């Protein structure tokens, strides 16, 4: 497949590397020669060119491409570039946007008529992610999969939890109908575990489970449930506003924003929240707000280091749950190791969302969630695919690949060695980034 990507920042670069590893014909273009000159990845063609220049688009091969993706930081540039690409002959186009209105059904139809096949709004993805983390405060991450039939949970476990010190094979015997341990983050390493692996203190464990079995995961991890009500949000931007759209009215939300214009925008967009503006010293502000009496602290300001520091301060001051946005993908693991709480990165969410659309363009409800070193994807088994020929224990799956769960006839279930995948099953797969092409072949050939 020939793919042209406009925008060599983190989202575009991450996508380009993933796709090039799968031997797609990928061209990554950007008007900034400094960004392009830093890329030396094999099998990746780069070029300096303006995404809204017809000459540059032609030079990049857009008229012959199967897919054109515009992920520059500027929404107008992305929309303009996609319109040009579609009219030049690109078979499909995707644009990163900054406007919630683009996600409405009538807006999507309008953009399709002018040549834009898909729109991705990072703040909406981030808002959904944070709202899910608030709904299950005992989990670091909570991601709905397969149209809500399965659930991915990431939980930090510590000494005293029932599963700490246990082999996965023993955990599986006890809980095979409730959940599957899909991956483990241990310090800097992401482990796709096998039966003999042991869950250790301070592991961040990723589970695939059924929504109604989430409490079984909670009990196994030794976590107590809390009903969060009072939330402080540091940063009055689009991400904070999107979060409010995904929380119901039971929450008492206070925004801290030192920019007057941003503060006023929050009040206009979500009038039900309280906004404290003009406060330069957020530590004094948190003290004045009696943060220890609040359930949750969310830091989504423009500076990642400030967000991390604010969350560490809030935790020290007694807040129960903290959620931090970090701008760079490389900072996610570092933030997780600081035991701050839940960590959100809009760039990885955006790249994952675009990548899943590419994996299966016919599945509008498909999910792809990045674990930094691996991907969580859901794929549908085709007739006569090799994944359907034998029970899982006899398939000899490539190392580092695990099947977390499946949906059959609209009903979710976990996967064990005895499970026999059937054509039409929608299966959640956890695998290294570079193995996605291999996994896809298992489901199609």
Average pLDDT over residues 108-122: 91
Positive or negative CA dihedral for 169, 171, 174, 175? negative
Between strands 374-380 and 426-432, the pairing is antiparallel
Write out pLDDT tens, residues 249-287.
889 999 999 888 999 999 999 999 999 876 667 778 888
Name beta bridge partners: 431.
375
Res 365: pLDDT: 36
pLDDT tens, position by position, 230-239: 999 999 999 9
First to last CA, the chain: 18
Query: How far from the centroid of its chain's Cα atoms is residue 429's Cα?
Result: 15
- pLDDT tens digits, 168-210: 999 999 998 899 999 998 988 888 888 899 999 999 999 999 9
Could you say which DSSP state residue 445 is in? -
139 and 153 Cβ atoms separated by less than 8 Å = yes
3-state SS, residue 162: coil
User: Strand, coil or helix: what is 25?
Assistant: strand
- Determine which of 26-30, 352-356, 433-437 has the lowest per-residue pLDDT on average: 433-437
Q: Contact 208/428 with Cβ under 8 angstroms?
A: yes
Mean pLDDT of 298-322: 91
Query: Tokens 């609040």 — which residue?
Result: 294
**22 has pLDDT over 80:** no
The CA distance from 388 to 419, in Å, is: 10
CA dist 106 and 119 (Å) reads 13
For 372-382, give one letter per residue: b (16+ CB within 10 A) or e. bbbbbbbbbbe
Residue 113 CA to residue 111 CA, distance in Å, equals: 5
Of 55-64, 294-303, 431-440, where does mean pLDDT reach its minimum?
A: 431-440
37: burial class by Cβ within 10 Å (0-12, 13-18, 19+)?
exposed
In which band, very low, low, confident or very high, does the pLDDT at 364 lie, cut at 50, 70 and 90? very low
Contact in structure between 391 and 420 (CB atoms under 8 Å): yes
What integer pLDDT is reported at residue 159 of this predicted model? 94
pLDDT at 366: 38
The span from the CA of 329 to the CA of 315, in Å, is 23
pLDDT band at 5 (very low <50, low <70, confident <90, very high): very high
Q: How many helices, marked H, and strands, marked E, lie in the chain?
A: 15, 22
Tell me what pLDDT residue 436 has: 74
Indicate if the pLDDT at residue 367 is higher than 90. no
DSSP 371: -
Q: What is the pLDDT of residues 121-133, one digit of tens each?
A: 999 999 999 999 9
pLDDT in tens, 50-71: 999 999 999 999 999 999 999 9
DSSP state of 167: B
Q: Which segment of 13-22, 77-86, 227-236 scores lowest on mean pLDDT?
A: 13-22
Share of the chain above pLDDT 90, in %: 56
Nearest in space to 276 (alpha carbons), one of 291, 287, 289: 289
DSSP of 185-222, one letter per residue?
Answer: EETTEEE---TT-B--TT-EEEEEE-GGGHHHHHHHTT
DSSP string, 60-116: TTGGG-SEEEE--S-HHHHHHHHHHHHHHT-S-EEEE---GGGGSHHHHHHHHHTT-
- For residues 61 and 357, give the distance between their C-alpha atoms in angstroms, rounded to a whole number: 21
Q: Is the pLDDT of residue 437 over 80?
A: no
Q: What is the pLDDT of residue 20?
A: 81
Residues β-bridged to residue 183:
206
Using pLDDT thresholds of 50, 70 and 90, give the confidence band for residue 108: confident
Higher pLDDT, 437 or 209: 209
Residue 320 banded pLDDT, cuts 50, 70, 90? confident
Q: Mean of the pLDDT values across residues 119-146?
A: 91
CA gap 57, 65 in Å, rounded = 10
Higher pLDDT, 117 or 10: 117
C-alpha dist (Å) from residue 285 to 159, 270, 282, 306? 35, 21, 5, 15
Render the burial of 423-440: b for 16+ CB within 10 Å, e for the rest: eebbbbbbbbbebbeebb
The yes-or-no verdict on residue 105 having pLDDT over 80 is: no
**Could you tell me the CA-to-CA distances from 235 to 131, 199, 217, 307 in Å, in that order?**
16, 36, 32, 9
Q: Is 412 exposed, middle or buried (0-12, 13-18, 19+ CB in 10 A)?
A: buried
């Amino acid at each position: 497949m020939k793919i042209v990507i406009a925008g060599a920042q983190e989202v575009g670069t991450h996508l380009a590397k993933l796709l090039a590893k799968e031997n797609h014909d990928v061209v990554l273009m950007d008007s900034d020669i400094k960004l392009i000159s830093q890329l030396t990845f094999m099998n990746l063609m780069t070029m300096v060119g303006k995404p809204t220049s017809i000459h540059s688009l032609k030079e990049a091969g857009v008229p012959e491409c199967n897919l054109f993706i515009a992920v520059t930081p500027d929404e107008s540039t992305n929309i303009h570039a996609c319109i040009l690409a579609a009219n030049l002959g690109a078979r499909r186009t995707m644009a990163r946007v900054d406007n919630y209105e683009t996600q409405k059904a009538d807006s999507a139809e309008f953009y399709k008529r002018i040549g834009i096949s898909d729109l991705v709004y990072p703040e909406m993805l981030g808002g959904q992610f944070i709202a899910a983390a608030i709904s299950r405060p005992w989990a670091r991450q909570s991601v709905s999969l397969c149209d809500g039939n399965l659930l991915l949970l990431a939980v930090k476990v510590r000494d005293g939890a029932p599963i700490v010190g246990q082999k996965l094979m023993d955990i599986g015997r006890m809980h095979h109908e409730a959940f599957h341990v899909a991956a483990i983050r241990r310090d800097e390493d992401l482990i796709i575990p096998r039966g003999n692996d042991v869950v250790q203190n301070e592991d961040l464990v990723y589970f695939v489970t059924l929504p109604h079995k989430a409490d079984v995961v909670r009990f196994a991890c030794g976590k107590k449930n809390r009903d969060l009500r009072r939330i402080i949000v540091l940063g009055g931007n689009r991400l904070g506003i999107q979060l409010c759209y995904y929380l119901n009215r039971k929450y008492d939300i206070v925004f801290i924003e030192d920019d007057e214009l941003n503060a006023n925008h929050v009040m206009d967009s979500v009038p039900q929240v309280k906004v404290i503006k003009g406060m330069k010293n957020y530590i004094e502000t948190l003290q004045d707000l009696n943060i220890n009496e609040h359930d949750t602290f969310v830091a989504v300001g423009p500076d990642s280091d400030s967000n991390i520091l604010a969350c560490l301060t809030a935790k020290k001051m007694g807040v129960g749950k903290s959620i931090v946005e970090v701008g760079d993908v490389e900072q996610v693991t570092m933030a997780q190791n600081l035991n701050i709480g839940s960590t959100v990165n809009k760039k990885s969410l955006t790249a994952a969302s675009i990548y899943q659309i590419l994996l299966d363009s016919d599945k509008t409800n498909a999910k792809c969630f990045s674990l930094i070193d691996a991907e969580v994807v859901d794929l549908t088994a085709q007739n006569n695919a090799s994944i359907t020929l034998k029970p899982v224990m006899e398939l000899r799956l490539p190392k580092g690949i695990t099947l977390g769960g499946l949906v059959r006839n609209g009903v979710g279930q976990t996967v064990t060695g005895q499970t026999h995948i059937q054509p039409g099953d929608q299966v959640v797969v956890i695998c290294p980034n570079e193995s996605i092409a291999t996994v896809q072949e298992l489901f199609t050939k």
